[in-house]
Structure 1
Amino acid sequence: MASSSSEEQLCYGPEDPSLLFHQNEHISASLLANGTSNVFRVRRTESKVWIVQMHPTVKDLLDVWGFKGLLECGRPMRVDNELITALIERWRPETHCFHLPVGEVTVTLQDVQTLWGLRADGRVFTGRDYPIGYEDWPSKCRDMLGWIPDVENETKQGGLLMTSLIHQTTIPLGDGLYDYVYMQRARIHALILLGGLVIPDTTGCKVPFMWLNAFDDPFDVSSISISWGSAALAFLYHYLCEASVGRQRRDVGGPMVLLQLWAWERMPTLRPSFLISPMHTPYTPSGAK
């Protein structure tokens, strides 16, 4: 990318189009033509992730499943849509990098692990679009989550509504219950974290049914270790590429909270001032600051 013109103004187009061949479809082409672009709106339910109450036994299960670092961040964060839009304008799907005046940079697995504490190694997180071991999704939800979703709403939309999942967490859990009850609640919390923060889609309001297949055997999840970090990074790349070449798009999905944390960490001049000097606790994710 050209960093500046002879008049020392920012140039959005590539100096050599042989590599950055998507320029005609890229969002920066409209910036060259019009001088402005619309601000993307991040679709998320991240703020709702932190309002749910969690039983200590459920939290222990989530820690073992690999969400310990994410839970330690433990607070909602206001997303800067203008910052996200500015980064999307400099993202190139051909190279999966941000092309900035200072050079090319990108988000790495190390960043995901450092900021959120998610595993960077382990089994790839994938999904099959049919209920493994069951005839239909309502039956699987009944056994795995402890409730049957609304067939008219959730089943037709191909996913569990975030409002339904959060509503289930409002039902209090006592002590001394059967282990499977805590397992069911832990799966609900895991789906809320995935759909609301780690790998949200552009709807920002539902969680695909197929993600439930990853939690068939909770002990298997613990022992084999699913790489949640690689899933988050893959979703981030996917939605950045989708937004950068989709001129008609106004909403963007993916873990944009992670992207904002990365920008604040790697480009401190963009970071808000701390009211209190942050103290980083060892063995906790940097995002907790």
Structure 2
Amino acid sequence: MEDEDVAQHGWPGGPLDTSILTRYSDHVARYIWFGTERIEGPKPELRIASLGTKLTGWVPGPGEHHPNIQGWLDDSGLKWLERTSLSKVDPQLLSAFTERWHPETSSFHVPFGEMTITFDDVACLLHIPVRGIFYTPVPVSMEEAVALATELLGVPYEVAYMETSRQRGGTFTQQWVYDCWQRNLNMYHRYDCAARAYLLLLVGCTILTDKSYTRVNAKWVSDTSTGNNRIK
């Protein structure tokens, strides 16, 4: 009976066209509408990866970058990420939006209507350029991560292999990437490798944060290397 009523009138407080949001029957928003929880027992706490405080301690102040590093940073269009990470976030607000996110339409369904995140929003909030074609790098294996670190970050093969072995995959810790940046900058004066390490650290602490809170995926390393010092 409930299924017939839903087919005719849509979900209470939800979509009228039931053919679009096909997963709504199991969505947390439906349970919220009826005043029940999706699971029994304590509600799991939303984990928020906000590395603003950590990044603030790593990012140099205005005008403190080495000129070569600053050139790479300016050309990449990512310099504004140094000032866009949040030190404090509102878990309740984020939870409310998360519970109303529907992957079928990549949008939020709230009582006053449907809303989504546009490229204009990204450009306005993060101040980074949104242009070019869609690009999704493929995951890299532990061996490929070692090769990328050796070629693009200037790390000896044995050192890179030891790091990926500790992480058991194609990732590096943020601290390890930070150390790569500092060594290449201050000891070896390999500014191209230093710039790549810094850009990897920057995106790994902001727009491409890993759920572990401490790692950076090695697949992003190749995006910091082009012939004209631009991010792909």
- Encode CA deviations 1:153-211: one digit per residue, 9 max, x unaligned: 13x23211112123334558459x75xx1111111111112221112232222122221
**Normalised TM-score (structure 2):** 0.74
Alignment length (residue pairs): 205
Contact 1:66 1:118 in 2 (8 A): yes
CA distance in 2, matches of 1:161, 1:33: 42
TM-fit CA distance, 1:64 = 0.8
* 1:122 is the counterpart of 2:124: no
CA distance in 1, matches of 2:166, 2:108: 39
CA distance in 2, matches of 1:162, 1:30: 38
Amino acid at match of 2:36: N
TM-fit CA distance, 1:218 = 4.8
- 2:165 aligned residue: 152
Contact 1:144 1:187 in 2 (8 A): yes
Contact 1:39 1:85 in 2 (8 A): no
SS at match of 1:50: helix
Contact 2:154 2:193 in 1 (8 A): yes
CA distance in 1, matches of 2:70, 2:166: 29
Amino acid at match of 1:193: L
Q: What stretches of structure 1 of length at least 5 have no aligned partner? A: 1-10, 227-289
SS at match of 2:29: helix
Match of 1:104 among 101, 114, 120: 114
* 1:17 is the counterpart of 2:18: yes
1:135-284 maps to which residues of 2 (within 5 A)? Answer: 136-147=144-155, 148-149=159-160, 150-154=163-167, 156-171=168-183, 173-174=185-186, 181-219=190-228, 221-222=229-230, 226=232
- 1:34 aligned residue: 36
* 1:70 is the counterpart of 2:111: no
CA distance in 1, matches of 2:210, 2:185: 30
CA distance in 2, matches of 1:12, 1:47: 39
Amino acid at match of 1:40: L
- 2:9 aligned residue: none
CA distance in 2, matches of 1:159, 1:141: 10
Q: What stretches of structure 2 of length at least 5 have no aligned partner? A: 1-11
CA distance in 2, matches of 1:50, 1:33: 41
- Encode CA deviations 1:17-67: one digit per residue, 9 max, x unaligned: 232221122122342362585441113434322211443321331121111
Name the stretch that deviates more: 30-39 or 43-52: 30-39
CA distance in 2, matches of 1:75, 1:111: 15
1:174/1:164 CA distance change after superposition, 3 Å: closer
Name the stretch that deviates more: 192-201 or 102-111: 192-201
1:91/1:130 CA distance change after superposition, 3 Å: closer
SS at match of 2:131: coil
SS at match of 1:163: helix
1:218/1:86 CA distance change after superposition, 3 Å: farther
